Amino acid sequence: MNVYLDYSATTPVKPEVLEAMMPFLTQQYGNPSSLHRFGRESRKAVDVARDQIAKTLNASPDEIFFTGGGSEADNWAIKGTAYALQSKGRHIITTAIEHHAVLHACEYLEKEGFQVTYLPVDESGLISLEDLKNAIKSDTILISVMYANNEIGTIQPIEEIGRIAREHRVLFHTDAVQTYGHLVMDTKQLPVDMISISAHKLYGPKGVGALYLRKGVRIHNLIHGGGQEKKKRAGTENIAGIVGFGKAAELAYTDVEAHDQRLTALRDNLKNRLMETIPYTRLNGHPERRLCNNVNLSFEFIEGESMLLSLDMVGIGASSGSACTSGSLDPSHVLLAIGLSHEIAHGSLRLTLGDMTTQEEIDYVVEQLPPIVQRLRDMSPLYEQVKEGNR
């Protein structure tokens, strides 16, 4: 049996999405910037997709700008704001658990002379609103806090953060790549100025994302060249990808509440059964304020990569919280930020569910994972000490 539980890494393209994309890969190949009929057909398709995504955010189509993915959207929001407002100030606030697209963009800006405050989080992954208020200075120009964490699933108090940003007249960006398609985000109600989203997290194609940019907010361009995307993002549009993104977004928000309820039930079933079956296990992330599809567990006395390989051998695809980037021997920066020791962080496993996940697959994982953990623990000297009562 093959079970894919790595939906936070990427998702398959749904048949309806592929069907919408196919004409623009084969027959309707005009450049949207061209004035002839072929170009106009492609331009119309881009406009339809922009409308579809705008509706899911209760935004104006004029506020949606297509990018090459979530990382580009993050970089554009952060660097574009920094350079546009550097005459006003050079201080940025973010968190210690952001995606590397945000963290590395901020590190780059630090080398350019900007100051960045990295807010800590508590053991569940939440920032302190008081810490945020205290971090704001007279030269603070941007707050960037992810909507929900990609590793542990914790959902931040975005509305409250946005209100604080508004009170201090500071722009607010949120990386919602993991959230989009799971939670309703109403930009008419949500005090957020910029939102990064991506297609391949909600059953759309890879290589396409978008930045919601609230009307009136002006940031510098990241990519220079032609006049695409209302002269804000150069480069010939990825028509098929954009069409797929629009369709995927439309499908995701057709009945998002029913979708969340189903995944929440499967998530809790998986989490509870594993924690009841396997001793010395802890849940990472907030127990309630978390994404409906995220289970992140730490198993003491074992090493994450060995667990991943063992799961792969029985047909289960998951990810480990023990490495932020491929080839890294360091534990996840997110798990260290919530207070886990290196030892426990190395034994972490992220299981993320999706639309194709079934109860049968959950049952299979619950059947296969406990003996894998036990076998790995039996090889651990630390576990032997625990069994002998010496720890």
Residues catalogued as catalytic? 324
228 among annotated binding-site residues: no
Residue 100 marked ligand-binding: no
- The two tokens of residue 82 are 């920094």
Query: In sequence order, what are the residues at sequence separation of 6 or more whose Cβ sits closer than 8 angstroms to the Cβ of residue 283?
Result: 271, 275, 295, 296, 297
CB 321 within 8 A of CB 6: no
Say if residue 71 carries a ligand binding annotation.
yes
Tokens of 141: 């120009």
Q: Is 200 annotated as a binding residue?
A: yes
Query: Are the C-beta atoms of residues 99 and 176 closer than 8 Å to each other?
Result: no
Residue with tokens 């695809």: 317
b/e burial code for range 170-191 (CB count within 10 A of at least 16 → b): bbbbbbbbbbbbbbebebeebb
Query: Using alpha carbons only, what angle is made at residue 212 by residues 209 and 214, rounded to the nearest 5 degrees?
Result: 165
> How big is the chain by its Cα radius of gyration, in Å?
22
Please tell me whether 298 is known to bind a ligand. no
The 3-state DSSP class for residue 211 equals: strand
CB atoms within 10 A of CB 224: 9
Q: Does 198 show up as a binding residue in the annotation?
A: yes
Which residue ranges make up the annotated binding site for [2Fe-2S] cluster?
Answer: 324
Which residue ranges make up the annotated binding site?
Answer: 70-71, 150, 178, 198-200, 236, 324
Which residue ranges make up the annotated binding site for pyridoxal 5'-phosphate?
Answer: 70-71, 150, 178, 198-200, 236
